[in-house]
Amino acid sequence: MDALPLGTFRARALGHDWIATRSLFVGGASEKLVARRLDGGDYISLNLYRLDGGPRLRPCEMPAAKVTAFVMDLAVE
Domain boundaries, the chain: 7-76
Residue 1 has pLDDT above 90, yes or no: no
* Inter-CA distances, 74 with 5, 35, 43, 52, Å: 12, 10, 13, 27
pTM of the model: 0.92
Kindly report the number of other CB atoms within 10 A of residue 55's CB atom: 11
Q: Which residues contact 60 (CB under 8 A, 6 or more apart)?
A: 45, 46, 47
pLDDT at residue 67, as a whole number: 97
**Spatial contact of 19 and 44, defined as CB atoms under 8 Å apart:** no
pLDDT at residue 19, as a whole number: 99
